[in-house]
A and B are shown apart, each in its own frame.
Chain A
Amino acid sequence: MANTVQFDLVSPERKLASVVATEVQIPGADGDLTAMAGHEPTILSLRPGFLTIKGADGEEQFVVTGGFAELSADAISVLAEMALPTSEVTPEILAELVSTATQAHETAAVDTQHETQKLLADLIHIAEHLGFDAHL
């Protein structure tokens, strides 16, 4: 079928998903985007957020913490630094990520502070979305 793409989600430690998808929602660094078949070849970096894959057998959702995506007309690969199915994300994991990001933000140089601030805000947004207390 022409309107599907091969989607791969890989992390350094393992391959998390390899499915045929109709559309993939990707949290890009400059804003979310939905990639479908026939997308212009693009490389974009990710911010922490939700990655949603819609395929023939329903929807799958992952939480990614950064990395990048390679889009082309017939294939989408997401190379995530850390990715977990949303159902496996626990408050503890997020709390740890948030505390690392907070620490990085507090020690960051002034000119990079807006970046660490953004990272932190993205992580807190994930936590709030999942209904966890972000200020653990």
Chain B
Amino acid sequence: MPNLKDLKNRIASVKSTRKITKAMQMVAAAKLRRAQDAAEASRPYTERFNAVLGALSASVGGSDSAPRLLAGTGKDDVQLLVVMTAERGLCGGFNSSIVKLAKTRIAELQAAGKTVKVLTVGKKGREQLNREFGALLIGHVDLSSVKRLGYINAQEIAKDILGRFDGEEFDVATIFYSKFVNVVSQIPTALQVIPAAYEANDDDAGALYDYEPSEEAILADLLPRGVATQIFAALLENAASEQGARMSAMDNATRNAGDMIDKLTIQYNRSRQAVITNELIEIISGAEAL
């Protein structure tokens, strides 16, 4: 039986752990709200943008003159996977589930004889992928110093990717991120950004637009922005998912710490009672011996 002092220390330490996880949960809840607001605020832009690009790509996409960002290079031999994860841990399975999806994809592509290149966004994803696929990593974007995600962060990532595309480093680019559903559920998602696949909205099919300057010029102007917009949307989803995952992970941790304290307290009380009983037995048997 562990002695009383050890038990008491243990209880104190679990109690302070519980305080920390509780605080982290509350911080995550506040940050989650902010992240959700940001995601909400970006939605009108993304929706309009995708609708316009959908209409545009439907009318230009079929022709031979379609830009490479839309039509692709005609090959899919070199695949770029952009794995977007968090900069911090302690958020449940958030990082691991994204990495797991990416790893499955890497294995599939490699089995099909494709060349795979990986660009990581966020420290945690790089750490996990580095172990197994260190040779495939071609770059890393560090967002640890970014306090508040802005469109400019997405633009930088997009610029990096587009530069590599223009340099013919890859044929197909896919981003990996986690879609936020609610606090307990985030779905790791893969989305192909180059060549872009925009869906034409049926409602817009009737509206015939004039284009100024030409249709092709606008499309060529918009497609690179489309990459940035999709990355921005993914970054915001990821931020919300991360906080949601952290919140539920910390909620669980707080609850587990509570259970553990209860268990340890019972054990402590029993031990103390046993010690008292022991002492009484000693006293009584001592008195009887006299």
The residue from B41, B207, B229 contacting A15, defined by CB atoms under 8 A apart:
B41
Contact assessment for B45 and A11 in the assembled complex, using a CB-CB cutoff below 8 Å: yes
Chain B residues closer than 8 Å to A10, beta-carbon distance? 44-45, 48
Contact assessment for A12 and B212 in the assembled complex, using a CB-CB cutoff below 8 Å: no
Indicate the member of B41, B154, B208, B212 with the most A CB atoms within 10 Å: B212
Chain A residues closer than 8 Å to B151, beta-carbon distance? 11-13, 81-82
Indicate the member of A8, A30, A43, A81 with the most B CB atoms within 10 Å: A43
Count residues of A near B (Cβ-Cβ below 8 Å). Answer: 24
Cα separation A13 to B225 with both chains bound (whole Å): 14
Cα separation A95 to B218 with both chains bound (whole Å): 27
Count residues of B near A (Cβ-Cβ below 8 Å). Answer: 28
Cα separation A11 to B232 with both chains bound (whole Å): 12
Asked if B210 lies at the interface with its beta carbon under 8 angstroms from chain A, I say: yes
What is the interface of chain A mostly: helix, strand, loop, or mixed? strand
Expressed in whole angstroms, the minimum distance between the Cβ of B106 and any Cβ of chain A is 30
Chain B residues closer than 8 Å to A29, beta-carbon distance? 212-213
Residue on A with the closest CB to B42? A12
- Please judge, given known A-B contacts A10-B44, A68-B222, whether A43 and B56 are in contact too, CB under 8 Å: yes
- Please judge, given known A-B contacts A79-B48, A79-B49, whether A13 and B211 are in contact too, CB under 8 Å: no
Expressed in whole angstroms, the minimum distance between the Cβ of B170 and any Cβ of chain A is 21
- Please judge, given known A-B contacts A10-B45, A12-B45, A13-B41, whether A81 and B211 are in contact too, CB under 8 Å: no
Cα separation A84 to B221 with both chains bound (whole Å): 22
The residue from B56, B209, B212 contacting A30, defined by CB atoms under 8 A apart:
B212
User: Digit string of B39-63 for contact with A (CB within 8 Å is 1, else 0)?
Assistant: 0011011101100100010000000
User: Digit string of A7-27 for contact with B (CB within 8 Å is 1, else 0)?
Assistant: 010111111000000000000
Contact assessment for B218 and A45 in the assembled complex, using a CB-CB cutoff below 8 Å: yes
Contact assessment for A40 and B210 in the assembled complex, using a CB-CB cutoff below 8 Å: yes
Contact assessment for A42 and B150 in the assembled complex, using a CB-CB cutoff below 8 Å: no
Residue on B with the closest CB to A15? B44
Cα separation A72 to B203 with both chains bound (whole Å): 14
Cα separation A14 to B40 with both chains bound (whole Å): 9
Asked if B38 lies at the interface with its beta carbon under 8 angstroms from chain A, I say: yes
Residue on B with the closest CB to A11? B45
Chain A residues closer than 8 Å to B225, beta-carbon distance? 67, 81
13 contacting pairs across A/B (C-beta < 8 A): A11-B45, A12-B154, A12-B228, A12-B229, A13-B41, A43-B209, A43-B218, A44-B218, A45-B217, A67-B225, A68-B221, A77-B48, A79-B48
6 nearest CB pairs, A to B: A44-B212, A12-B151, A42-B210, A14-B41, A10-B45, A41-B209
